Amino acid sequence: MHAPASRSRQSPGASPHSGDGTPRHRPRTIAELADCALDYGWDASMGVKHWLKVADGARTKGKLYAENGDLENEFIHYARAATIVLEKLPAHRDYNATLNPDQRHNLGLVSE
């Protein structure tokens, strides 16, 4: 039998377990989520197209996590995609040579 909802909130001196005996975990802070988002192994020697695929994969995963109500992983993957597209790629040595002006413009629209 589950504990009533009003008793499921963590209070001082409360058990670190939920009413059904499973351990509770506190949500990660924004700083912790941001640190996770930056943990994707940026390597400037990899090509721009590689990083576009990585960013697209992160965006796709973010959407799936959103559909499943996993807000923490949604944040991590959307932030990862945004960091790659808005911060890392424009500074990549091959950015201007690989992408034409229209493609660069379209990537910039993400921030507008």
Question: pLDDT (tens digit, 9 = 90+) per residue, 13-33?
Answer: 444 445 566 666 899 999 999
Question: pLDDT (tens digit, 9 = 90+) per residue, 76-108?
Answer: 999 999 999 999 999 999 999 999 999 999 988
Q: What's the pTM value of the predicted model, to 2 decimals?
A: 0.73
Which CATH fold topology does 27-111 show? Methane Monooxygenase Hydroxylase; Chain G, domain 1 (1.20.58)
> Of 27, 23, 92, 82, which Cα lies nearest the Cα of 58?
82
Tokens of 16: 């670190």
Q: Three-state SS string across 25-88, please?
A: CCCCCHHHHHHHHCCCCCCCCCCHHHHHHHHHHHHHHHHHHHHCCCHHHHHHHHHHHHHHHHHH
Each domain of the chain, given as residue ranges in start order, spans: 27-111
> Of 90, 91, 112, which Cα lies nearest the Cα of 103?
90
